[in-house]
Amino acid sequence: MKTSLLKFIFILTAVFYSAATYAENGYDLWLRKGPAKPVKVVVSGKKSAILDAAKQELTEFWQGTPNATIQLVVKADKSLKTDGFKINGNVITAGNDAGVLYGVYDMLRRMASGQSTDNVLSNPSYQRRVLNHWDNPTGNIEHGFAGKSIFWRNEKDSVTVNAGDLSRWKDYARLNASIGINGAVINNVNAQPMMLSAPYLKKYAAIAAAVRPYGMKIYMAPNFASPIRQGGLKTADPLDPEVIKYWQAKAKEIYALIPDFGGFLIKANSEGQPGPQDYKRTHVDGANMLADALKPYGGIVMWRAFVYAPNDPDRAKQAVQEFMPFDGQFRDNVIIQVKNGPVDFQPREPFSPLFGAMKKTSVMPEFQIMQEYLGQAKHLVFLSTMWEECLKSDTYQMGAGSTVGKVTDGSVYPQKYTAIAGVSNIGLDSNWTAHPFAAANWYAFGRLGWDNTLTSAQIADEWLKLTFAPVTDEGKAAMAGKNWDAGFLAPVKKMMLDSREAAVNYMMPLGLHHQFSAYDHYGPGSWYAPARTRADWTPPYYHKADKQGIGFNRTETGTDAVSQYHEPLSSTFSSLENVPEMYLLWFQHVPWTYKMKSGRTLWDELCIKYDTGVKQVRQFQVVWDMAQPFVDKERFENVQSRLRIHARDAQVWKDGSILYFQTFSGMPIPYEVERPV
Ligand code: GCW
């Protein structure tokens, strides 16, 4: 009786393992735990919550030699910047407590991903590595695709805090700290005045307290009209003495509750948001007034450059036009926050020419982690390659080598504060980001904010190992005898690294941009142009297709946006022969019959690009199916079903776009391209 029961259990277990249906909890993301090995942690530094957290993480995650002794040392060291650390064997040294915590996470990451833990010296590229949450007090997230806000519930109950919140915020802070993120703006830049009311400030304080042990600061995006709408004043004019007093009093109130409050992020005079221009004042007037209010407490103002007026002939030029005249006039605790491209988080844009323009103003990049325009948690798109492309683009500000990374991290010209922002993609979904691979984008943002020279290949490698390699006994048993590196890591990494180019191909190849259907920013809509909508909110404003050709002429004969770039870029972009083909239709209006480098006509090339994108996604489905033996059931099926949607919708992009543009070109679809379905 006993033996047969054992046998039964044995068979069951074997079946279980061979199908690789071991259980995984998607909640832990890249901080998955196996059974920890014993470790001794010796801390030399003044006791603090952050050092306690560092010790605890090490103790709970240790997978190295059992009973090793790890030393955590806080001491001044000239080679270390704030938050930087050194790892030498079993010793982690940093100049501040947070640096020790980052060193601990780095050591664990290195051990889990097979990298050396000797002679490591690591300093962050940016001082402030900040998530931007577009979370509303209603609990909804603007373009949130992974459930509701983890911070706000609904307007009636937004300010209460329960035990579930506290544990979620703690894990949120751990995940962030593990990749170097040290700040978060926890409400939407399309901001509500109530955020500055006493009950909301109390809630900010509670969140700040929950994330503080992990080195994170909280920031707010206040509404510029708060003096009127929250404070009851008649104006929000930044030069009005009552308005100045209002903001000073608010700063005092905030810092009494949150002594390490990070500062403000402002969206002003953009897409209907209030701002200083409502009172015939300037960005400088607005930003400096707020900067002065925060200055006594060490706070900063991140002032967004995402501004564009309706019906301007070229939206892509406006940020430079509005901000360049003010170079040198901003307070030193103001940073201008610039989206990576000059339009709006498109699948591909050249870098914004505001990078490399100002020399006496701090400038920071803003990336979008949430895939508003890149498949919205339905498509598998690893954004790291896009950000890497931007950070490594040369602006030529001070000659060759002035990359976007370097003109924002303080190495090309001095900036008192340096920072980088990423619009968050997380919500209350049990795995945080809905699409399991969307977590790789959160991870990549943190890693690039820490080190803006990292390659996407390395980031993908780390993330895959930390997220999918077996760590539990159950997982390890399921993987026994299988070649994880060849069967899983290599093909899946390649899929990730190809995925953004695939999205560009099936959505907007060759420099096309903003071809989305109205409102949802998800599917294709090149044909959408109702009479009463602002032109710059319709795709034809950007594609400019006609019988002769397609593309936006931004050369000297067009809007001359090319002149906002330094040489040699401006002449390169304005030359039909020399402009990189990936930006062709961004800068040029090109005849359908133009001969591309491949020898094909532009029309044929365009069709083939769309088709290639679809074929790439179909191949991703194959890659993922082959990866099944290496993945737990839940995550496998989640990704597999999203890839089906992804493939179907890539096809819709291709068919819709080709059939629409064919009404202009009048040319046949090349034979090697799949017919529309
Ligand atoms: O990408 C656009 C979005 C808006 C967003 C805006 C911005 C928060 O469609 O939803 O508003 O950019 O960045 O301010």
Residue-wise pLDDT tens digits, 14-66: 444 445 567 887 999 999 988 889 999 999 989 999 999 999 999 999 999 99
The CA 618 to ligand 1 mean position distance, Å, reads 31
CATH number for the domain harbouring residue 677: 3.90.1330.10
What local confidence, expressed as pLDDT, does residue 34 receive? 87
- Whether 536 lines ligand 1, by a CB cut-off of 6 Å, is no
Asked if residue 518 has its Cβ within 6 Å of ligand 1, the reply is no
- Please tell me whether residues 337 and 388 are part of one structural domain: yes
- The active-site residue out of 157, 242, 271, 546 is 271
Domain that holds residue 504: 1-30+469-552+589-677
Reported ipTM: 0.99
In a domain, 303, yes or no: yes
Q: Which of 425, 453, 481 is the last residue of a domain?
A: 453
Positions in the chain whose pLDDT score sits under 50: 1, 13-18
Q: Which atom of ligand 1 is nearest to the CA of 345?
A: 1
- Please indicate, yes or no, whether residues 50 and 198 belong to a single structural domain of this protein: no
Pocket residue to mutate for ligand 1, from 306, 338, 513, most atoms within 8 A of Cβ: 306
Q: How far is the CA of 223 from the centre of ligand 1 (A)?
A: 15
Q: CB of 322 closer than 6 A to ligand 1?
A: no
Gap between the Cα atoms of 410 and 449, Å rounded? 13
**Residue at 458 is within a domain:** no
CB of residue 135 inside a 6 A radius of ligand 1: no
The protein residue whose alpha carbon is closest to atom 12 in ligand 1 is 344
Q: What is the 268 CA–ligand 1 centroid distance (Å)?
A: 12
- Catalytic site residue from 24, 344, 409, 649: 344
Place of tokens 């999918």: 468
> Is 577 a known active-site residue?
no
668 SS3 class: coil
- Of 102, 123, 144, the last residue of a domain is 123
Is 577 a domain residue? no
Rounded CA gap, 310 and 139, in Å? 30
| CA of 270 relative to ligand 1 center, distance in Å | 9
**Best substitution site from 344, 371, 423, 513 to test ligand 1's pocket, by max atoms within 8 Å of Cβ?**
344
Of 341, 268, 340, 346, the residue nearest 301 (C-alpha): 268
CATH number, domain with residue 56: 3.30.379.10
Q: Active-site residue among 57, 372, 389, 461?
A: 372
Record the tokens describing residue 563, joined without a space: 């002149």
**Nearest atom in ligand 1 to 344's CA:** 1
The pTM of this model reads 0.96
* Measured distance CA(272)–CA(667) in Å, rounded: 42
For the chain, what is the domain count?
3
Whether ligand 1 lies within 6 angstroms of the CB of 267 is answered as yes
Residue 171: closest CA among 112, 213, 219: 213
Q: State whether 547 and 424 are in the same domain.
A: no
- Do both 14 and 86 map to the same domain? no
Q: Is the CB of 514 under 6 A from ligand 1?
A: no
Strand order, beta sheet including 91-94: 39-44, 68-74, 91-94, 85-88, 120-122
Q: Measured from the CB, is residue 190 less than 6 Å from ligand 1?
A: yes
Do 187 and 315 have their domain in common? yes
Residue 133 and residue 275 share a domain: yes
Residue 202 corresponds to which tokens in the numbers above?
């109390």
Ligand 1 mean position to 360 CA, how many Å? 27
Distance in angstroms (rounded) separating the CA atoms of residues 72 and 37: 18
> Residues 273, 345: one domain?
yes
Distances 495 to 19, 382, 611 between C-alpha atoms, Å: 23, 9, 17
User: Is residue 345 lining ligand 1, measured as CB closer than 6 Å?
Assistant: yes
Respond yes or no: is residue 271 known to be catalytic. yes
372 lines ligand 1 (CB under 6 A): yes
Which DSSP symbol is given to 352?
Answer: P
Tell me whether strands 419-423 and 549-550 are parallel, antiparallel or unpaired.
unpaired
In sequence order, the β-bridge partners of residue 304 are 337
- In DSSP terms, 40 is beta-bridged to 69
Distance 451 CA to ligand 1 centre (A): 27
pLDDT of residue 14: 46
Domain presence at residue 670: yes
Do 26 and 36 have their domain in common?
Answer: no
CA-nearest residue, atom 1 of ligand 1: 344
CA 449 – ligand 1 centroid, Å: 21
For residue 305, what is the domain's CATH number?
A: 3.20.20.80
Question: Could you say which of 103, 123, 143 is where a domain stops?
Answer: 123
In 281-381, alpha helices (H): 283-294, 318-323
Nearest of 133, 182, 135, 131 to residue 158 by alpha carbon: 135
* Residue 41 and residue 161 share a domain: no
429 shares a domain with 479: no
Q: Examine the domain organization and report whether 164 and 279 are in the same domain.
A: yes
Q: Which of 140, 143, 308, 349 to mutate to test the pocket of ligand 1 (most atoms within 8 A of CB)?
A: 143
User: 515 and 616 in one domain?
Assistant: yes
656 occurs within a structural domain: yes
Domain membership of residue 606 (yes or no) is yes
The tokens for 72 are 């955590």
Which of ligand 1's atoms lies nearest the C-alpha of 143? 10
Residue 373 alpha carbon, nearest atom of ligand 1: 1
Residue whose Cα lies nearest atom 10 of ligand 1: it is: 142
Q: Is the CB of 189 under 6 A from ligand 1?
A: yes
Q: Is 329 in the pocket of ligand 1 (CB under 6 A)?
A: no
462 belongs to a structural domain: no
Residue 306 Cβ inside 6 Å of ligand 1? The answer reads: yes
Does residue 142 have its Cβ closer than 6 Å to ligand 1? Answer: yes
Yes or no: say if 334 and 579 are a contact pair by the CB < 8 Å rule.
no
Q: Is 170 domain-assigned?
A: yes
Alpha-carbon radius of gyration of the chain: 26
pLDDT for res 8:
57
What pLDDT was estimated at residue 2? 56
| Residue 97 among the catalytic residues | no
- Please, what's the b/e burial string for 418-440 (b: 16 or more CB within 10 A of its CB; e: otherwise)? bbbbbbbbbbbbebbbbbbbbbb
Residue 443 in contact with ligand 1 by CB distance below 6 A: no
